[in-house]
Each structure stands twice: as structure tokens, then as C-alpha cells.
Structure 1
Amino acid sequence: MSGKQVIDFIESLKVPEGPRAGKQVKLAPFQKQFIRGAMAPKVLMGVLSVGRGNGKSTLTAGIALGSLLGVWDDQPRREILVAARTRDQAQIVFQYVAGLTTGLPEEQQEQLTFRRGQRLEIEYGDGHILRCISADPKNALGTSPTLAVMDERGHWPDDKGDALEAALLSGLGKRGGKCLMISTSAANDSHSFSQWLDNPPAGCYVQEHRPAPGIPADDVASIIEANPGAKHGIGSSIAWLVAQAQRSIARGGSALSTFRLYNRNERVSGERRDMLLSVDEWLDCEVSELPPREGACIVGIDLGGSASMSAAVFYWPNTHRLEAIGAFPCNPGLADRGVRDGVRDRYVEMQDRGELLTMGDKVVPAGQFLQAIMTHLDGAAAACFTADRYRQAEFIDAMNAASVRVPVVWRGMGWRDGAEDVERFRKSIFDGEVQSLPSLLLRSAFSDAVTIQDVSGNSKLAKARSAGRIDAAAAAILAVAEGARRKARPIAQSKVPQWA
């Protein structure tokens, strides 16, 4: 088998639907690149991640049909399985494969039998079968496929999807078959599809078209990066994608997160959640020169454990100045931790910028982190610390061990305190009362920070992805909200004594 055989076959077919229906299929360079890499002889697994509407159906259906016809595989009684999330989605793939067959020579078409009943099957010649199934492990029992294509693997349910994946991979081993995963990004880094992309084993070819996080949704270069087919007339045009990005920015909330997930191929939650802040709202807070450290400072602190980050945010309500630092334990190192969290070398870059510290072995020592906070204050007066009451006892012990004497305001992160703090924080942002230097630590935290609403419209902080590190965002909310409360309190007026 060679990539050229696959490319030549697919480009001999005709487009079954859409504006180019009836014309020859023309593969884009990124599609040819994937075919050459994934269909190489020694590659057993090919993984492609690209934005919605970039010809994934053409690749899936074309490769499956060519394998069924034996264009590059002469095994007897070939079995090709195309798995999708639901039966309806499997039927869409089936219809696309059936559409491609109309461009075949008549003698080949006569050997095809279509079954559209309980099973979606195409039989060719002497017992060669192409079957489209839903992501349910029972559908793969007893199979021994020569090719398995997992369509939109990033959106299969975790439990059934992983079980079906295991069943397909074990079946492929019986006949030396090949597996392809073609999908938009999963919503988080812990999903199995994300793990294939981030930690590919030997014999796995990976091609991912995903822009860096924290970029405005309507940035043209990153839209093109996630939609490489747009420049070649595949799917949506660049102008349409930019216009759609601007509409989603205007609507915000789940419209924006859905656009980022499907059209920008980013790993963000597509659930109906609102972003704490949009990228653009935070970028408006960044300045080239900070206002002075005047007045008392309020320090928001979020203590982390072995996996999470510890973070502190310093806020001067009088001048609106905001600074932030974070800390991770030394083991594992920042490079390894970045790979595990799906952010590559972002933590290393934060450390180089002086925004991220390392201390301790497996856990950041709370006392040492408090000492680092006092060092960062560099003599500036601290009006108070504000922290989550969930770890109150540990926090007090750390303050005593570090000999730190600062009043502490305890807040909850649930609906009662959390909803108030989120709204005060957002109001301060929108009123221009927060100013910060460009901070990769804060950009990263806000890009992963979403809010969940209850039936009364109260919002509390949550993660957009499981491996997201929103500790700096939580600390910023605590500090800025406390600053807003203190500014709103009336100043006691001293009365001039009068003679009766």
C-alpha cells in the first residue's frame, strides 16, 4: 500500500453532494499529507484532528470505499468498520460512501449490494463488507476488520467510546488491520482522543490542526490554521468563518465556546456554559505600563495540591494595579507537567517570564508559598489575604509556620459567596478597574475558566476542561471582589464637636 494509491483512487471519484456535486474529488494538501502519513506501510494508527467542515467525510468515505474494493488490499473477505457516535451519524457516513460509489465504473457498481435495514452495510463481490456502526461496544463483538475508521472520535461518550475503541483495536490485530481516527478536538485533554494526539505510541501517525490557546476567536491566521481546507474551497470560506466568529463573540457564552470547539478546533467545553471572561475582555485589561503601588494591597490566594497550581493575585484597589504569581511542585518538572496537561511548553515559558515558581517536591509547601507572597509584596502594605475557607485550617497552620501576620477574609467558592464574587469581579473588569501587564499565567487561566449557572441565574467558577489550571483566575476573583467590597463601603465621617 502507498499513499499515492489512496490519493489517486479518491481523486478518481466524483463529489456526491454540495456545490461541487458531479465534479472530480480534489484533495487539499493537508488531506494528502495525512493520507501519505497514515497509510504508510509501517503505520498502524492514523489520527487527524481538524475543524468542522474540512472534508473529513470525504477522507473517511473515500478510504473506506477503496479498502472495500481492494484497491490497495487484496485480503479475502475484507471487513471495513466505520464507527460514528450515533446510528444517525453512522447513517450519514453510509450515505456519503453510497454517494461516492456513483462515480465507479458500472461493472463495479453492479457488484455492490446495499443494506439499509437494521444494519447499514455495503457488500462487494465475494463477501467483502463495509459496515457503519454506532459507538456501542456490542456492535464490534466478533469482528475482525481489515480497516477501522473512527469518525468524530473526540465526541464519543467516554465509557462506551473507550470500550468500542478497545474492541476495534483488538479485532484489528487478528488480520493486521489499520485504524484511522478523524475528528474535531475533544472538549478536554483527558479524553482518549486527546491522549492519542498528545502521547502517540510507536506506529502512530498524528496530524493536528489546532491553534494555540488564548487567541481571539476572529483571528484570521488561527482560523486558517484550524481550517486548512478553507483556502482550497473545502467547506466554509474564510470570510464566512470570520463573520461567524464575530457573531459568536457578540453573543458570547456557549455560542463562543461552541465556535471555538468545532470551528477553531480548540479543546474547550461545548456545554452550555458561559466563559468567565472572553479573551478580548481580558486583553482590554492588559497595559504596557502598570499604575503605581499606592494604598493597601489585597492578596487573593488559591492553595493547590499535588496536581493543581497554587496562585496568588495582588490587587491595589486605589490604582487598579493587578499582579499574579503561581507555583507548582518540582516533581514532575514543568516540561513533563505541560505535556500531561496538554499545554506543551506553556509552563516553561511562564517560568521564563517570572510568572511561575517551583517549590517543594510533590506538593507546594503552603508556608513557603506564603513567604514567596511576602517577598513579592516587597514591603508593600497588605490590607488582607482572602482565601477559600475550604482549606482554612491548613492555611492558618501555614501562616503560623511562616510567621505571617495578616488579616484573612474567608470566602466560599459555592453559589452563595462564589456568585457574588464572580459578579463583582466581572463588573470591575467591565468598568476598567483592573490593569495588568501581559501575563501568560492569567491568559491561560481565563481561557480555561467558565461559569455554571443555577436556576436563579447565580454563577460560580468552573473549569472548561479537566486539566485546565484556573487557580490564578480563582485568586483574581477573590482579590478583585474584596477590593470592590471595600471601595463600596462608606467612609466614616468624623463629627466636629459642637457646644450645646
Structure 2
Amino acid sequence: MTRATKEASAALRFLPKLVIPEGRLAGRRLRLAKYQKQFIRGAFAKGVNVACLSIGRGNAKTAISAGIALGHLMGEIEAQPKREIIFAARNRDQARTAFGFLVGFIEGLPEDQQEQFTIRRGSKLEVETAENGGGLARVIAADGKSILGGAPTLAVLDERAAWERDKGDNLENAILSGLGKRDGRALIISTSSSDDSNAFARWLDEPPNGTYVQEHRPPPGLPPDDLESLLIANPGAKEGIGPTPEWLVSQAQRAIARGGSALSSFRNLNRNERVSSDDRSVLLTVDEWMACEVAPDDLPPREGPVVLGVDLGGSRSMSAAALYWPDTSRLECVGAFPCNPSLADRGQADGVAGRYDEMSERGELVTMGDTTVPVDRFIADVVARLDGQPPASIVGDRFRYAEFIEALRAAGLERVPFIPRGQGWKDSAEDVERLRRAVFEGQVKSVPSLLLRSAFADAITLVDPAGSHKLAKGRSLGRVDAVAATVVAVAQGQRMRKTPARQARMAWA
């Protein structure tokens, strides 16, 4: 463990003197949990000016930040005169939470220490002190113009993932530029964002120099009520902070039973996973997909016609192909990335570490081409896996119809019927429903596949007012291209199964 700096040691000495102002532990002295001590050491480490903490809801991230702010305001942690502390949030009401913790900690101090503070709760939420060089703590909302010209020495950016994109970025930029004037420090705290494009996600995935990142996020693809992974996202549960393990499991089971946005919201807020809960639903739960996995010896044979579903990617996204035999319910899937950048680099950029390399070792992911996957070669390689059996049809995105036709001609597959499917509500909603029905009726069987398991764990659907679902290609974490290929392949296979066989007509001469 890295040795604590002077400032970190001061914070670790100061915080246990505070009295918890609310909750089931109200009235007791603050006892720092292991993960909180870890964050304090990292936030005040040498060379660090921005510290990011991502953790499940209810694990006292706001409270601990408010305690640090109070120590800073009193000059107990850093003795710089005329200190300025900012509590920033998406709106005033949200920022009031951190301000409330600050005031609550002040009210738990000895009376002679309380007298040094002036608390303002009017149009401005502020706490001021003239002791130890003086200091001011104030609340601002997501409007960057409100702090132009300021020079904060400490800033707490609360629930950063929930800020509006433009206003939030403006506020963050204004705060960080102001911190540079006096060697200030920023604490960026939040539950997980809903997608990788969020500014908070970029802080976690691509931290600049001088940034400390502490993220409590369980591995993807696990059941929502898996206790071990719940405790990864909620480390305070083991130390009496926030929700108890029993409550987390019960709420997970409730979310599973309700499904839809309730399950997505639980994964995002309580499991700290990057899953959107805004007018969205999961395509299939992890448990529903894992029911489709069978041992290699139990995989149905390759009998009857086979449907090839293809989802084409670009230079940054994955191309994927799914092979589905509707007569036996067998499903196979493979993905492809360009060779440049490497799978290891892509894994780091996507925040999945070595998962792509593991998929490659399992034979589920291949690389070809330089910066883009050659469509004709990819389709030809997938068809070669059929050992001479021609596909009954190839299904793909209608928007890329011309690209498909050219690739099929180059691959020598121009005689195979190509069935274009749109990505809008009309086609996608039908395909999603056919996939779900096939899964629930036990008509999809696959060997355990890390590629498919990861993709289904992150695949979400948009829901219209009529309750129709369509696959949302905007990913939450990882790649869902394998799911897109599987959806169109299985849906077409189900249509083939439902089509009545043609019967010969007889006519009397």
C-alpha cells in the first residue's frame, strides 16, 4: 500500500472526529471503511489533482466528500489561506445533499468550534469561516458562467454522470480551469454512467495524467442478485455503511421479477454497471440467455437449412456473424475486428481489459484487414465454417444493401438470397420479439460463448409508447454487434419455420 502523504494523513486523522449527522448510525463517530481510506490516500497522493470515485448508490461517497470539504474549510487538511470550496451538481437540489452533510458535520462539532461558522441558507447556500486563514464553501449548479473568475482550492463534483452534457461539460471546464490558479484539487464522485460516451465514463476509462481512479464495478454478465458481485459495487455493505447485503439481494430479486427499466435501473444504480434505465429495457436478462447455453456434447447437430445473419461494423466497431439452424435450434456466432489497433489496445479503450484476447483464444473473435474488416473476406470465411453447406439465406442491414450485394458477389455467393432488414421500429421490433419468443420456447441453443454472453449482458432495447422494443445499437458497455447478428438470424429462421411447406397442385386433364 502506498504511504499516505501529509494531506492524506491529516484527512485520515480529522474525519474520525466527526459525528454522523443522519441515517441509522446517526450520533456515532465517523468510522472510515477500508475503501474510503483507499480513496483518501489516492485522492491526496503526490501529483494527483483529480480523484474519481465510482461506486453504488448509498455507499457514503457524498458524505465522505463533505467531510473532506469541512476539514479543508477549517484548514485541518490543507492550510492554504482564504480557501474556497465548491459543491457542484446538476442542479441546486442535488448539490443541497452535499451541503446538508457539510452543515450536519458542523452541527456535530463542539460548540466553541461551531461558533466560527456562518451558514447561509437563502438564495445562496454558503458556509463561511474566518478562522485559520478564512474559507468559503458554496453550492453551484451546472452553469459554467457562475464561477468564471473564481479560484477554488477544492471542488466536489457530485453525481457527475447525471449532469447534462453541454452544461455539465461547461461547468466542469470552468471548475478545472479555476483550480489551476491555486493548485486546487477536484473530487469527482458518481454512480456509473449509462454509456461509455458520458464525460464521467471518459474520466474512468481514459484518465489524464494526475488523475486517481477508484471504480467499484463488478464483472459484466453476472445475475443481478449475485451477492459477491453486489458487494464489489457496494463495499460499504460489509462495514455497516449504506444498504445491507440482505436488502441488496431482495431488491435485486424484485428488479428481476419486474424486469424492464426496473432491472436496468438496479444494475445502473445499485450494481454500478453502465446500463441505461431511461425509456430502455434489457433485451434478455443474463439468466434468460444463459438458459440457452449447453455443453458442447449437448449442442444440436447441423441439420436442415442454415441462416446467416451479419452485422457489419466500421473501423472502430466489430463485425459479427451468426449461423442459425432453425430445424435443430443450433446457434453459432463469430466476431471480427480490424488488426489495427490490437485487441489488447481495444480492450483497454473499451474498458474490458483482456476480454477480447480471451475471446480470440476461444475462437470466437478473429482479426482481419488493417483498419476495417473486409466484408467479402469476412462473409466468405464465415461460410467456409459450414464445410460446404450453402446458407439458405443471408440477412443484413437494409441501409447497407449495396455493400452487401458487392461483398456477396466478390465472395462468390451472389446466388444466395439476401434478405434486407431495417433497423427502425417496423423490422427491428418484429425481429426482437421473434428472438425473445424463440429463447423462451427453448429454440436457441449455443455452447458457452464469452462473445455472446458479454453482448447479451449489455444489449438494451428502446421502448416506444405502445410497448414495442427495438435493439438500441448505442452500446452501454462492450460490443453488442454479435447480438444484432443473432437477432436477425434467429428471427429469419423462425419465419422459415412458420412458413407452411408448399404442396404440389394436381389438375385433372
TM over 0.5: yes
CA drift at 1:454 = 2.4
Unpaired runs of 5+ in structure 2?
1-5
CA contact (8 A) 2:293 2:448 kept: yes
Are 1:171 and 2:181 an aligned pair?
A: no
In structure 1, the partner of 2:373 is 364
User: CA-atom RMSD, angstroms?
Assistant: 1.6
Cross-structure match for 2:26: 21
Aligned to 2:427: 417
Q: Deviations over 1:23-67 (max 9, x none)?
A: 111111100111111112432121111100001122111000000
What is the deviation of 1:496? 7.5
Give yes or no for the alignment of 1:56 onto 2:61: yes
- Cross-structure match for 2:352: 343
Contact 1:448–1:464 (8 Å) recurs in 2: no
Give 3-state SS (helix, strand or coil) of 2:470's partner. Answer: strand
Query: Is the counterpart of residue 227 in structure 1 residue 234 in structure 2?
Result: yes
Q: Does 2:181 correspond to 1:183? A: no
State the shift of 1:473 in Å: 0.8
Conservation of the 8 A alpha-carbon contact between 1:2 and 1:41: no
Q: Corresponding residue for 1:326?
A: 335
Contact conserved, 2:276 with 2:476, CA < 8 A, in 1?
no
Distance 1:369 1:216, change over 3 A: same
Alpha-carbon deviation of 1:149?
1.2
Name 1:239's counterpart in structure 2.
246
For residues 103-142 of structure 1, the C-alpha deviation after alignment (integer angstroms, 9 at most, x for no partner) is 2122221110011111110001154101122222122211
1:29/1:190 CA distance change after superposition, 3 Å: same
- One of 134, 137, 143 as aligned partner of 1:136: 143
Match of 1:387 in 2: 396
Partner of 1:83: 88
| Contact 1:298–1:315 (CA under 8 A) maintained in structure 2 | yes
Query: How far apart, CA to CA, are the structure 2 residues paired with 1:138 and 1:212?
Result: 39
C-alpha distance in structure 2 between counterparts of 1:73 and 1:36, whole Å:
14
Task: Tell me if 1:484 matches 2:494.
Answer: yes
How many Å separate the matches in 1 of 2:310 and 2:461?
19
Q: 2:284 maps to what in 1?
A: 277
Verify: 1:72 aligned to 2:82, yes or no.
no
Q: Is the 8 A contact 1:267 1:465 kept in 2?
A: no
Cα–Cα, structure 1 residues 51 and 33, in superposed 2: closer, same or farther, change >3 Å? same
Q: What is the 5 A alignment of 1:188-227?
A: 188-227=195-234
Determine which of 160, 172, 179 is the counterpart of 1:153.
160
Deviations, residues 416-444 of structure 1 (Å, cap 9, x unaligned): 11111111111001000000011111112
Which SS does the other structure have where 1:115 is aligned?
strand
Alpha-carbon shift at residue 303 of structure 1 (Å): 1.4
- Once residues 139 and 264 of structure 1 are traced to their aligned partners in structure 2, the CA distance between those partners, rounded to angstroms, is 34
Q: Aligned AA for 1:78?
A: R
Q: How far does residue 467 in structure 1 lie from its aligned partner after superposition?
A: 6.0
Mapping 1:461-500, distance limit 5 Å: 461-463=471-473, 465=475, 468-494=478-504
Distance 1:304 1:42, change over 3 A: closer
Q: Which residue does 2:302 correspond to in 1?
A: 293
What is residue 33 of structure 1 aligned with on the other side?
A: 38
The answer on 1:45 being equivalent to 2:55 is no
Counterpart residue identity of residue 52, structure 2: V
- State the 1:464 CA deviation: 5.7
The answer (yes or no) to whether the contact 1:211–1:266 under 8 Å persists in 2 is yes
Count of matched residue pairs = 499
Q: Match of 1:71, SS?
A: coil
Q: CA deviation at 1:154?
A: 1.8
Q: Which amino acid aligns with 2:91?
A: T
The SS at the match of 2:235 is coil
Aligned partner of 1:450: which letter? I
Q: Does 1:97 align with 2:102?
A: yes
Residue 462 of structure 2 is matched in structure 1 by 452
Provide the C-alpha distance between the structure 2 equivalents of 1:197 and 1:213, rounded to a whole number of angstroms. Answer: 16
What letter corresponds to residue 291 of structure 1 in structure 2?
P
Say if 1:254 and 1:273, in contact at 8 Å, map to a contact too. Answer: yes
Preserved CA contact (<8 Å) 1:48 1:206: yes
CA contact (8 A) 1:269 1:464 kept: no
Structure 1 residues 464 and 282: CA distance shift in structure 2, 3 A: farther
Q: Deviations over 1:263-301 (max 9, x none)?
A: 000111121211111111100000013111111111111
Give, in whole Å, the separation in 2 of the partners of 1:118 and 1:41. Answer: 38
Q: What is the Cα deviation at residue 341 of structure 1?
A: 2.1
Whole-angstrom CA distance in 2 between matches of 1:270 and 1:414: 20
C-alpha distance in structure 2 between counterparts of 1:153 and 1:455, whole Å:
29
- Residue pair 2:279, 2:463 contacting (<8 A) in 1 also: no
Check the 8 A contact 2:86/2:152 in 1, yes or no.
Answer: yes
TM-score for the superposition, normalised by structure 1: 0.97
Corresponding residue for 1:403?
412
Unaligned runs of 5+ residues in structure 1 are none
Equivalent pair of 1:187/1:465 in contact (CA under 8 Å): no
Distance 2:503 2:408 in 1: 34
Look up the equivalent residue of 1:359 and give its one-letter code. M
Distance 1:135 1:11 in 2: 32
Taking the aligned partners of 2:506 and 2:182, their CA distance within structure 1 comes to: 95
